[in-house]
Amino acid sequence: MSGHAAIHDVGRDRIVVGAGATWRDVLAAALREGLTPPVLPEYLDLSIGGTIAVGWRSTSSRATDAS
């Protein structure tokens, strides 16, 4: 799925990425804009598509200090 890992657009309240992008990709793209996602999984190498496919549970996720 690496061909679908593109970061398409980073906005202040949303980011548009390919399903193969990882949370690490998302965090790096957000940090380049001075932003942090409001929540992240503890393991950043999960894909966005794979996370959504299993329902995105927050029990092992961490809220970030996005202020």
Ligand X SMILES: Cc1cc2nc3c(=O)[nH]c(=O)nc-3n(C[C@H](O)[C@H](O)[C@H](O)COP(=O)(O)OP(=O)(O)OC[C@H]3O[C@@H](n4cnc5c(N)ncnc54)[C@H](O)[C@@H]3O)c2cc1C
Q: What is the DSSP secondary-structure string of the chain?
A: -GGG--EEEE-SS-EEE-TT-BHHHHHHHHHHTT---SEEESSTTSBHHHHHHTT---TTEEE----
The verdict on 37 binding ligand X (CB under 6 A) reads no
Pick between residue 34 and residue 42 the one whose CB is nearest to ligand X.
42
Q: How far is the CB of 4 from ligand X (least distance, A)?
A: 7
The verdict on 47 binding ligand X (CB under 6 A) reads yes
The verdict on 19 binding ligand X (CB under 6 A) reads yes
Residues that bind ligand X (CB under 6 A): 1, 19, 41-43, 46-47, 49-51, 53-54, 56-57, 60-61
